């Protein structure tokens, strides 16, 4: 097996790595939290969240003992909220089993919300186990090095590279450095567009570079166009209080709070949709007033335009008929509740601090 390129890669990494708080003190707990936060999220975005999280929950036991609402509040704005709920469940499961984060990949994999990527990261970077981490950066680097024709988003390729790189890692002195170096190379040099091959430590072993076709790799399965939805929500006022509802755990953005509302049906105006959705969700009859804000937001698989209306109660009743948690709160109390990002855009337009 060729062990020259992993050595060249690690040497480059040690000279060029970025400072990151979880690298400075690399305990299994800090690796676990940072790796969950880093899924689909850039390092620069994660750093302040990581500091806040470590300040609030310095140990895994602190995280396990925290109320879910606080965990979600500290995650607010980072997106993909199921990660926060899974991390919380994972901390509780570890504490229930004695409190030590497992060191073996297979044991880590059994924990709630821990996939191959996070299990490999904790095992290798937290405990020095010889197991490969395969994220999007690693896939891209390796696919270019091998001039891979299989689409990089194919699950079979991820599995194949996991096996191949785990074999390579057996010959490497520091699996932690190798894994970090692969990811760092993808982030800093072998970037999605315009890879900097002239400064790449593995260029000598890269087929795409030697055949001058790096820009053609990795291959991808053609994407379908993501759908767009028009959504209407009501800021339903009863005096100076507003109605908020909690999303159920099974839903996307589960556990976060929101205003009642939903998608427009064919032929409906946003006002009509707000009135109908509020009635369907809460049984409350409202008068839909002024349009307060229109915001656009893109999620990973769809995008929305959200219309927010000021609504007032019209039916003489203010108790929602609703099987999920609800509350009447003052505007200044909204900051105590975690909300999805699209709602924050509404808060900004309405100058509500949150
Ligand atoms: Fe990526 Fe270029 Fe390095 Fe190959 S030589 S791994 S394409 S940066």
CA gap 245, 215 in Å, rounded: 47
Query: How far is CA 9 from each of CA 19, 80, 174, 231, 284, rounded to the nearest angstrom?
Result: 18, 32, 12, 48, 62
Q: Is 195 in the pocket of ligand 1 (CB under 6 A)?
A: yes
Which of 53-67, 72-86, 151-165, 270-284 is the least confident region? 72-86
CA gap 123, 106 in Å, rounded: 9
Report pLDDT for 239: 92
Distance (angstroms) between ligand 1 centre and the Cα of 41 equals 23
Average pLDDT, integer, range 39-53? 94
Quick check: helix, strand or coil at residue 235?
Answer: strand
CA gap 28, 101 in Å, rounded: 7
Tokens standing for residue 206: 């890269």
Report pLDDT for 251: 81
Q: Is 197 in the pocket of ligand 1 (CB under 6 A)?
A: yes
Average pLDDT, integer, range 120-143? 97
Q: Is 120 in the pocket of ligand 1 (CB under 6 A)?
A: no
pLDDT in tens, 224-270: 888 999 999 999 999 999 999 999 887 888 889 999 999 999 999 99
Whether omega before 22 lies within 30 degrees of 0, making that bond cis, reads no
Catalytic residue among 35, 258, 277, 281: 35
pLDDT in tens, 307-335: 999 999 998 888 999 889 999 999 999 98
Q: Length of the chain in residues, anyone?
A: 354
Average pLDDT, integer, range 287-314? 94
- Best residue among 214, 216, 217, 219 to mutate for probing ligand 1's pocket (most ligand atoms within 8 Å of CB) is 214
Tokens standing for residue 224: 């379908």
Distance (angstroms) between ligand 1 centre and the Cα of 26 equals 28
- Best residue among 16, 187, 209 to mutate for probing ligand 1's pocket (most ligand atoms within 8 Å of CB) is 209
Residue 354 has pLDDT above 80, yes or no: no
Quick check: helix, strand or coil at residue 80?
Answer: coil
pLDDT in tens, 82-119: 899 999 999 999 999 999 999 999 999 999 989 999 99
**Mean pLDDT over the full length of the chain:** 94
CA gap 199, 335 in Å, rounded: 47
Which ligand 1 atom sits closest to the C-alpha of 202? 3
Distance (angstroms) between ligand 1 centre and the Cα of 214 equals 7
Torsion of CA 20, 24, 27, 33, to 10 degrees: -20
Residue 33 has pLDDT above 60, yes or no: yes
Residue 1 has pLDDT above 70, yes or no: no
Report pLDDT for 353: 53
Report pLDDT for 313: 94
Report pLDDT for 137: 95
Q: Is 46 in the pocket of ligand 1 (CB under 6 A)?
A: no
Annotation marks residue 211 as catalytic: no
Q: Is 181 in the pocket of ligand 1 (CB under 6 A)?
A: no
Q: What is the pTM of this model?
A: 0.73
pLDDT in tens, 209-230: 999 999 999 999 988 888 999 9
CA-closest residue to ligand 1 atom 7: 214
Share of the chain above pLDDT 70, in %: 99
Residue 81 has pLDDT above 90, yes or no: no
Tokens standing for residue 297: 């937001």
pLDDT in tens, 148-164: 999 999 999 999 999 99
The phi and psi torsions of 89 (rounded to 5 degrees) equal -65, -40
Type and span of the H or E element at 213: none
80 falls in which pLDDT band (50, 70, 90)? confident
């Amino acid at each position: 097996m060729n062990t020259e390129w992993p050595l060249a890669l690690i040497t480059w990494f040690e000279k060029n790595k970025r400072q990151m708080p979880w690298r400075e003190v690399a305990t299994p707990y800090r690796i676990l939290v940072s790796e969950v936060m880093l899924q689909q999220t850039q390092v620069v975005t994660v750093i302040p969240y990581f500091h806040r999280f470590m300040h609030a929950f310095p140990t895994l036991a602190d995280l396990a003992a925290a109320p879910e609402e606080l965990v979600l509040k500290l995650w607010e704005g980072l997106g993909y909220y199921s990660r926060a709920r899974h991390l919380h469940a994972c901390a509780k499961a570890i504490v229930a089993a004695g409190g030590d984060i497992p060191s073996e990949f297979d044991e880590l994999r059994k924990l709630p919300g821990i996939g191959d990527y996070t299990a490999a990261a904790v095992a290798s970077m937290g405990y020095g186990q010889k197991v490969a981490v395969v994220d999007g950066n690693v896939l891209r680097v390796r696919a270019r090095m091998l001039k891979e024709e299989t689409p990089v988003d194919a699950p079979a390729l991820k599995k194949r590279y996991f096996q191949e790189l785990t074999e390579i890692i057996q010959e490497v002195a520091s699996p932690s450095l190798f894994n970090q170096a692969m990811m760092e190379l993808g982030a800093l040099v072998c970037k999605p567009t315009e890879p900097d091959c002239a400064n790449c430590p593995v260029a000598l072993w890269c087929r795409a570079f030697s055949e001058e076709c790096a820009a053609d790799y990795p291959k991808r399965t053609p994407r379908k166009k993501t759908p767009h939805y028009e959504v209407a929500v009501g800021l339903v006022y009863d005096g100076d209080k507003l109605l908020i509802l909690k999303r159920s755990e099974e839903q996307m953005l589960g556990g976060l709070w929101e205003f009642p509302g939903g998608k427009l049906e064919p032929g409906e105006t946003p006002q009509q949709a707000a009135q109908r959705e509020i009635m369907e969700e809460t049984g409350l009859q409202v008068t839909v007033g002024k349009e307060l804000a229109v915001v656009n937001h893109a999620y990973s698989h769809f995008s929305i335009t959200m219309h927010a209306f000021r609504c007032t109660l019209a039916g003489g009743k203010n108790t929602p008929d609703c099987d999920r948690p609800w509350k009447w709160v003052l505007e200044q109390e909204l900051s105590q509740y975690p909300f999805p990002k699209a709602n924050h855009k509404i808060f900004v337009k309405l100058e509500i601090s949150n």
